[in-house]
Amino acid sequence: MSHFQTFTAKEIESLRRAGKVLRECLRLVSTKVEPGVTTKQLDEFAEEFIRSFDGAAPAFKGYNNYPATLCTSINDECVHGLPSPQRVLRQGDIVALDCGVIVDGLYTDACVTAGVGLLPEPVQTFVRVTEDALEKACAIVREGVRIGDISSMIQKAVEGAGYACVRALTGHGLGSTLHQFPDIPNVGKKGKGPSVPAYTIIAIEPITSMGSDVIRESEDGWTILTSDGSLSAHFEHTVLVLPDGGEILA
Ligand code: MF3
Ligand code: CO
């Protein structure tokens, strides 16, 4: 698909429901992040929570044969970290909790990065800058915004603070599928790229590195890591584009 999918009022209600379940899921999973917890435990909690809502289902499980509800990417893992009973969270780790919820065939997608216990000050700052970059980008969303406006906002916030955007990984349109037109890069130029119509949804997701933005793939076939072992952070919102602003669905 190389065009934007727009949604009816009824579909927007389904998306709002999905988003609400997803936001609450991530909020609750974040409260369970502490030393000694395994990423498998977080995944099981998330799946059970989502399925407790009538008509809601995890969006990632089974997507391209992905086996879990959450992606749990620890430290130098950028995205698609596989939950495992062998992965125990340790004091000082950072873990990105990425999740999707589907309601009435429509997808929402969101991610937060949580610290395990207290983080060293430089790591706290790095995580906060990544989250701020997402909030700044969401703040300019409205009908007619250009993808390049969003990309450039993220790039300035992240690189301006001395970190890197992982250029190979991007945000995306979504709706009837999890990933669709357009790609939303985390670097780019203001005024460039497609202009976004109202009543569409986009997933904006800065994925950052404290060091190099070069990535590698793990032998598990899913996890993507920084090649130099630098910490990576990831925040994501699904945003509904409206005539006079953006509504954060999840
Ligand atoms: N949240 C991821 C993204 O934004 C999607 C996970 S894909 C899956 O691209 F295969 F892991 F489900
Ligand atoms: Co996404």
Which of 47, 80, 223 has most ligand 1 atoms within 8 Å of CB, for mutation?
80
Q: Check: pTM over 0.85? Answer yes or no.
A: yes
Q: Give the pLDDT of residue 117.
A: 98
Instruction: Tell the residue nearest (CA) to atom 5 of ligand 1.
Output: 60
Instruction: Tell the residue nearest (CA) to atom 12 of ligand 1.
Output: 60
Which of 61, 109, 111, 224 has most ligand 1 atoms within 8 Å of CB, for mutation?
109
Q: Give the pLDDT of residue 1.
A: 61
Question: Measured from the CB, is residue 65 less than 6 Å from ligand 1?
Answer: no
Q: Give the pLDDT of residue 18.
A: 98
Cα distance between residue 100 and residue 115, in whole Å: 21
Q: Which residues, in sequence order, are CB contacts of 249 under 8 Å at separation 6+?
A: 15, 16, 18, 19, 22, 108, 201, 237, 238, 239, 240
Q: Which two tokens stand for residue 210?
A: 């404290």
**How many angstroms separate the first and last alpha carbons of the chain?**
23
Chain segment 18-31, per-residue pLDDT in tens: 999 999 999 999 99
Distance of CA 183 from the midpoint of ligand 2 (Å): 10
Q: Give the pLDDT of residue 135.
A: 98
Q: Give the pLDDT of residue 2.
A: 74
CA atoms within 13 A on the CB side of 131: 12
Q: Which ligand has the shortest distance to the CA of 43?
A: 1
Q: Which residues, in sequence order, are CB contacts of 150 under 8 Å at separation 6+?
A: 137, 140, 141, 171, 184, 188, 202, 204
Distance of CA 219 from the midpoint of ligand 2 (Å): 22
**Main-chain dihedrals φ then ψ at residue 68, nearest 5 degrees:** -135, 175
Q: In the chain, which stretches have pLDDT less than 50?
A: none
Domains of the chain with bracketed CATH: 9-248 (3.90.230.10)
**Main-chain dihedrals φ then ψ at residue 50, nearest 5 degrees:** -65, -45
